[in-house]
């Protein structure tokens, strides 16, 4: 385990400040992307909108399966009930930003554990969280699922490392379940698991 030194605490604080600076505008503006509106308005089972995707639950499930994102079904159900006005979308964005912050800290810790430098993991994390795809994953509500997938994939790699060190099979099974959840949320983001594996391999002496 990495002991969090004072300079690491400062780095993590800087990461949080960067996240706040980048994403604060996204949390104080009222807006929805086209897909968001079609997912969350009109409401499920509202007979006035029978030709929309959200007109019934079975359509949402079939759609989610067809695009390879089964958990999108449940995410749409949550958003459909939670978002009653456009400004409510910022609640879901806030949760997604918390997930991105957790992912950022874990990424810093992982790279720091496998590299003696402080600047390198800090630079990587800030670069990743400031990319257009990351910004879009917070702003675009239906892309929030990618944030949770990437976080779950990150947690799974820590558990796999723990299993390697302890040979506790319960830890390994838990890691595999979490990774499966990540892949069923947004598979592309869930593949971040292998990014962490490559980091580990590249730092082997």
**Within the chain, where are the H helices?**
6-28, 34-40, 57-66, 72-82, 89-113, 119-129, 132-139, 144-166, 169-190, 192-202
Give the pLDDT score at 51: 66
pLDDT at 163: 92
H/E segment holding residue 4: none
Looking at residue 70, its pLDDT comes to 92
- Residue 130 sits at φ, ψ, to 5 deg, of -100, 5
Predicted local distance difference test score (pLDDT) of residue 81: 87
Q: What is the pLDDT of residue 37?
A: 85
How far is the C-alpha of 95 from the C-alpha of 111, rounded, in Å? 25
What b/e readout covers 177-186, taking b as 16+ CB neighbours within 10 angstroms?
Answer: ebbebbbbbb
What's the full length of the chain, in residues?
Answer: 205
Per-run averaged pLDDT (10 residues), the chain, 205 residues = 72 93 91 86 71 73 89 89 90 95 93 81 90 92 93 93 91 94 90 81 67
- pLDDT value of position 194: 82
């Amino acid at each position: 385990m990495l002991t969090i030194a004072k300079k690491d605490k400062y780095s993590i604080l800087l990461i949080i400040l960067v996240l706040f600076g980048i994403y604060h505008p996204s949390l104080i503006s009222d807006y929805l992307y086209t897909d968001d509106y079609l997912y969350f308005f009109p409401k499920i089972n509202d007979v006035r909108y029978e030709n929309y995707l959200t007109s019934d639950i079975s359509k949402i499930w079939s759609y989610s399966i067809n695009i390879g994102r089964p958990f999108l079904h449940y995410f749409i159900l949550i958003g459909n009930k939670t978002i009653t006005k456009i400004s409510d979308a910022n609640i879901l964005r806030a949760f997604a930003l918390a997930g991105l912050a957790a992912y950022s800290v874990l990424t810093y810790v992982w790279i720091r554990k496998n590299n003696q430098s402080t600047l390198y993991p800090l630079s990587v994390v800030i670069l990743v969280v400031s990319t257009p795809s990351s910004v879009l994953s917070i702003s675009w509500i239906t892309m929030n699922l990618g944030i949770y997938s990437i976080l779950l994939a990150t947690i799974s790699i820590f558990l796999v490392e723990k299993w390697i060190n302890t040979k506790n099979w319960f830890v390994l099974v838990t890691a595999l379940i979490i990774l499966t959840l990540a892949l069923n949320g947004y598979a592309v983001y869930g593949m971040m698991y292998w990014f962490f594996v490559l980091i580990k391999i590249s730092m082997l002496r």
